[in-house]
Structure 1
Amino acid sequence: MDALVNFTNQSQGRDRIFRASQYACALSIYLLRNNTERKDLVAKLKGLETNMSAGRKLLRLGNTANSIEAAKRTMQLSDRVLCLCLTAANVNRALYFICDNVLWAKSVGLIRSIDKERWSFNASRFYFYSLVMNLTRDVYVVLKLMVQRARDKHFREKMDQSLNQCPEVAVVIIPQVDAFVFLLLETLKSHPAVALDTVKNICDLFIPFDRLGIYKSNAGVVGFCGLISSLIGILTLAKPTLRIKP
């Protein structure tokens, strides 16, 4: 119970609970869209989704400053690739929050004379750039870990034994590809924080993909991916050992 209280006391924890609820509603609405007997339920879910979205925008009002501070910290990283990826991700995240804050001000009537569609499009674009840089960081980290494991003598022996135990696989799959897949899976298995962050960023990509028109899916796909991403975010926040660093 104490862990739950500590989690909900964090602004990030509340935001992620709201986010999971928002995308769970979106997924449920999509699944029930053709059920004529559930029209009242769908209407209630739509209202709940709208309220969750508005609540999240309110909770994110201070996140621009947090992203700027994070960018300052990542600029000090000695690894140039990580420095570039994370700093660019945090800068774009800050720009996304600025657009998001303007849209919130518009929704509550504090600002009137703005192009809502343009600001919404820019918010999605900055969010997309931030995700791309975070995913680039994930790929870079995974490749580094794979290289380290490939140089480990004991791991190479384990890989050779595992591949030799399934000779029929080598007939169908190119041996080098088979070894690469084995190395990739073993690396992700031994580094769950990296694996979770990669899956989370891949899921999140479907949200701006749809809004920017890069890849048109549907509300069900966006809702499902957003829900999975949100649950991973809740898990990594509740259990810091599963959070990727830096």
Structure 2
Amino acid sequence: MDAFTRFTNQTQGRDRLLRATQYTCMLLRYLLEPKAGKEKVVMKLKELESSVSTGRKWFRLGNVVHAVQATQQSIHATDLVPRVCLTIANLNRVVYFICDTVLWVRSTGLASSINKEKWRMWATRHYYYSVLLSLVRDLYEISLQMERVVRDRAKRGKSLSQDPLGYSVAKDETEWLQSFLLLLFRSLRKHPPLLLDTVKNLCDILDPLDQLGIYKSNPGVIGLGGLVSSIAGIITVACPHMKLKTH
């Protein structure tokens, strides 16, 4: 109970719970819509989803400050690729939160002349850039982990060409794919924070891909992706050692 209290006392913790609720509603609504007699339930889920989405905007009002701080921290990363990817990603998050704040002002009626669709598209585009760059950083980190696994096996005196698990150059595409997937599995198993961050970013990118028309999906897929991403976010907030660190 104490751990849950500490978690909910954090702004990020409350936002992750609300986000999980929002996407759960979206997923359930998608699953129930085709079924007869579920109209009232679907309507209630839609209203709850809208209310939670509005509530989350309140929690995000100060996130532009956190994004600026994250940008300042990422500039000092020692490795060039994470430094460039995270810095530009965080700058895009700053712009995203600015756009999000403008949309919140528009929703309150304080500035009804604001072009809602234009600002929403800008917010979605910069959010997409941020997640995409974070994914590039994840792929770079995965490649480093895979290289470490290969080197570690070589140090134990097992030649790559004699490796029974298939790290040698495959003779056909099936063997090569099996070897690559096995190496990827072993690499991510040794680095759970990297696995968690990669899964989170892969799920996060589904929504902007759909909104920008790059890859059309449906509310069910987006809802499931958002729920998985929210659970990953809850884990990183509740267990800070599971958050991928910047080196």
**Shorter chain as normaliser: what TM range?**
over 0.9
Kept in 2: contact 1:149–1:155 (CA 8 A): no
Deviation (angstroms), 1:158: 9.6
Return the letter of the residue paired with 2:219.
A
CA distance in 2, matches of 1:104, 1:24: 23
Relative to its length, the structure with more helix (as a share) is 1
Note the 1:180-199 alignment, pairs <5 A.
Answer: 180-199=180-199
- Alignment partner, residue 94 of structure 1: 94
Deviation (angstroms), 1:172: 6.5
- Alignment partner, residue 242 of structure 2: 242
- Alignment partner, residue 113 of structure 2: 113
Q: Structure 2, unaligned stretches of length 5 or more?
A: none
Note the 1:129-168 alignment, pairs <5 A.
Answer: 129-152=129-152, 153=154, 157=158, 160-163=163-166
CA distance in 2, matches of 1:62, 1:18: 16
CA distance in 1, matches of 2:35, 2:61: 37
Deviation (angstroms), 1:132: 0.6
Distance 1:156 1:131, change over 3 A: farther
- Alignment partner, residue 167 of structure 1: none
Residues 63-118 of structure 1, C-alpha deviations (whole Å, 9 max, x = no match): 00110111011111121111100101100011101111111111111211111001
- Alignment partner, residue 10 of structure 1: 10
CA distance in 2, matches of 1:187, 1:26: 34
Residues 172-226 of structure 1, C-alpha deviations (whole Å, 9 max, x = no match): 7554443322211100111111011101101111110111010111111111111
- Alignment partner, residue 222 of structure 2: 222
Distance 1:190 1:155, change over 3 A: farther
The TM-score, its normalising length taken from structure 1, stands at 0.93
- Alignment partner, residue 53 of structure 1: 53
Q: Structure 1, unaligned stretches of length 5 or more?
A: 165-169
Deviation (angstroms), 1:55: 0.5
CA distance in 2, matches of 1:78, 1:22: 37
Distance 1:47 1:180, change over 3 A: same
With 235-244 and 131-140 compared, the bigger mean Cα shift is at: 235-244
Distance 1:127 1:156, change over 3 A: farther
CA distance in 1, matches of 2:35, 2:6: 39
Deviation (angstroms), 1:145: 1.2
CA distance in 1, matches of 2:79, 2:104: 37
CA distance in 2, matches of 1:155, 1:116: 60
Return the letter of the residue paired with 1:227.
L
Deviation (angstroms), 1:241: 1.8
With 61-70 and 151-160 compared, the bigger mean Cα shift is at: 151-160
- Alignment partner, residue 83 of structure 1: 83
With 26-35 and 152-161 compared, the bigger mean Cα shift is at: 152-161
Deviation (angstroms), 1:45: 0.6
CA distance in 1, matches of 2:179, 2:40: 53
CA distance in 2, matches of 1:178, 1:30: 35
Return the letter of the residue paired with 1:135.
L
CA distance in 2, matches of 1:243, 1:126: 23
Return the letter of the residue paired with 2:206.
F
CA distance in 1, matches of 2:159, 2:237: 34
